[in-house]
Amino acid sequence: MSKLFSPIRLAGQDFSNRIVVAPMCQYSADDGSANEWHLQNLMTLGMSGAGLVMVEATAVERPGRITHGCLGLYSDSNEAALDRILKAARRVSPTGTKWGMQIAHSGRKGSQQRPWEGGAALRAGEDPWETVSASALPFGDWHVPREATDDDMARIRDAFVAAAGRAIALGFEVVELHCAHGYLLHEFLSPLSNARGDDYGGSAKNRMRFPLEVARAVRDIVPEELVFGARITGTDWHEGGIDLEAAATFAGALKAAGLDYICASSGGLVPGLKIPARPGYQVSYAAGIKERTGIATRAVGMIADPHQAEEIIAAGQADMVALARGLIDNPRWPWHAAEALGAEMTVPPQYLRGHAPNWPGAKLARPANRPPT
Ligand SMILES: Cc1cc2nc3c(=O)[nH]c(=O)nc-3n(C[C@H](O)[C@H](O)[C@H](O)COP(=O)(O)O)c2cc1C
């Protein structure tokens, strides 16, 4: 019996398997509103059969977007646009597929060009905006952010709550706080980006204060039966930054604040690092956090082989695995993983004739099996 394809229950939600579509920014929204691109993307990913589909990092306020194309949930139009898309995606997804919303604030990494426009800080003439962070310390040569005031923090905390409220109203079963990849909540947490002299800087307790205030405020409005989790960093890959012990302390505090799971990612806080991104390179953080805190964890990062994913779950290193690039490359990955692991997977009847077990050509379609030319 495949463990990857075994069900799991978190809070009051049953997930049909342990495969998660990782959140992936599309940089394609119109003032935060989803459009036809998101429609096709989420319909395709929903049909994958993953137990949970995480929607991309979604800004809780307009200046909290990374680029002009980032998705948001800060207006009624954003909410209405996403409502149409989520309903359509649910209609073509296997029964029981759960949907998650990752709510985020870009902090000092906002006001950026889309990756395919260069990914640098927006220049004059490109409608740049003022960014805020824990401290006035820029990310590399990007805009110098303004140190967040008490009013900024109160506004942003309320914006997280409002966006979570909109996600709940839309029917998302999972709400996830983005506390990783060098964005605002991570900037408060890491000593490398937080040099504040007030109650929100200095000791680990102080640096965790703002992320935890946000987490508690959101927890207050997420109904018990829904799932509330966070993506955090397992390491900053830099001396003096967050390491596994610091990450586990933060995860433990999030657990005490009532969160149901942690997704362990890493990096994104310090520019220009060489990260040893080999298969499963972040799994040890999910495992370490699970072992130290007992909270359910999700592993992510260079997980592409179904047997590798199976082993992570079977060994108890994580409770779920998320794939990002592997699912862009092949949105039918879960179907093939089921085949490789001898598990059952519901394939839409319209597509059954092209499903590998029913189509002898499937073997030829795989590059590894191509006869030499
Ligand atoms: C196109 C793209 C967009 C991404 N956007 C997000 C995002 O919105 N939120 C997030 O937490 N991570 C984001 N990530 C990181 C992925 O969720 C994932 O953690 C990372 O790609 C490693 O997993 P992989 O090796 O399976 O791709 C993004 C990655 C890609 C490739």
Q: Give me the pLDDT at residue 370, please.
A: 54
Ligand 1 lined by 265 (C-beta under 6 Å):
yes
31 inside domain: yes
Ligand 1, atom 22, residue with closest C-alpha: 301
Best residue among 20, 21, 25 to mutate for probing ligand 1's pocket (most ligand atoms within 8 Å of CB) is 25
72 phi, psi to nearest 5 deg: -140, 165
Number of other residues whose CB lies within 10 A of the CB of residue 207: 24
Q: Give me the pLDDT at residue 218, please.
A: 98
253 inside domain: yes
Best residue among 37, 325, 329 to mutate for probing ligand 1's pocket (most ligand atoms within 8 Å of CB) is 325
352 inside domain: no
Distance 353 CA to ligand 1 centre (A): 32
105 phi, psi to nearest 5 deg: -135, 130
Catalytic residues: 183
The C-alpha atoms of residue 349 and residue 56 are separated, in whole angstroms, by 28
Distance 23 CA to ligand 1 centre (A): 6
| SS (HEC) of the chain | CCCCCCCEEECCEEECCCEEECCCCCCCCECCECCHHHHHHHHHHHCCCCCEEEEEEEECCHHHCCCCCCCECCCHHHHHHHHHHHHHHHHHCCCCCEEEEEEECCHHHCCECCHHHCCCECCCCCCCCCCEECCCCCCCCCCCCEECCHHHHHHHHHHHHHHHHHHHHHCCCEEEEEECCCCHHHHHHCCCCCCCCCCCCCCHHHHHHHHHHHHHHHHCCCCCCCEEEEEEECCCCCCCCCCHHHHHHHHHHHHHCCCCEEEEECCCCCCCCCCCCCCCCCHHHHHHHHHHHCCEEEEECCCCCHHHHHHHHHCCCCCEEEECHHHHHCCCHHHHHHHHHCCCCCCCHHHHHHCHHHCCHHHHHCHHHCCCC
pTM score > 0.95 for this model? yes
CATH number at residue 237: 3.20.20.70
Q: Give me the pLDDT at residue 371, please.
A: 52
What residue has token string 């703002």? 210
Distance 373 CA to ligand 1 centre (A): 36
129 inside domain: yes
Ligand 1 lined by 147 (C-beta under 6 Å):
no
373 inside domain: no
88 inside domain: yes
Ligand 1 lined by 25 (C-beta under 6 Å):
yes
Ligand 1, atom 16, residue with closest C-alpha: 324
17 inside domain: yes
The C-alpha atoms of residue 52 and residue 54 are separated, in whole angstroms, by 6
Distance 93 CA to ligand 1 centre (A): 21
Ordered per-residue pLDDT tens for the chain, 373 residues: 999 999 999 999 999 999 999 999 999 999 999 999 999 999 999 999 999 999 999 999 999 999 999 999 999 999 999 999 999 999 999 999 999 999 999 999 999 999 999 999 999 999 999 999 999 999 999 999 999 999 999 999 999 999 999 999 999 999 999 999 999 999 999 999 999 999 999 999 999 999 999 999 999 999 999 999 999 999 999 999 999 999 999 999 999 999 999 999 999 999 999 999 999 999 999 999 999 999 999 999 999 999 999 999 999 999 999 999 999 999 999 999 999 999 998 889 999 998 888 888 877 776 555 555 5
The C-alpha atoms of residue 297 and residue 205 are separated, in whole angstroms, by 22
Find all residues with CB under 8 Å of 26, minimum gap 6, and list them: 37, 38, 41, 56, 69, 71
Lookup: tokens for 105: 């604030």
356 inside domain: no
Lookup: tokens for 48: 């994958």
The C-alpha atoms of residue 225 and residue 233 are separated, in whole angstroms, by 26
Q: Give me the pLDDT at residue 366, please.
A: 65
Lookup: tokens for 107: 């902090």
Domain count, the chain: 1
Print the domain residue range for 210: 8-347
Atom of ligand 1 nearest to the CA of 102: 9
Ligand 1 lined by 325 (C-beta under 6 Å):
yes
Q: Give me the pLDDT at residue 358, please.
A: 87
Number of other residues whose CB lies within 10 A of the CB of residue 220: 10
Q: Are 263 and 322 in contact (CB under 8 A)?
A: yes
Burial (CB count <10 Å: 0-12, 13-18, 19+), residue 87: exposed
Ligand 1 lined by 326 (C-beta under 6 Å):
yes
Q: Give me the pLDDT at residue 357, please.
A: 82
Ligand 1 lined by 24 (C-beta under 6 Å):
yes
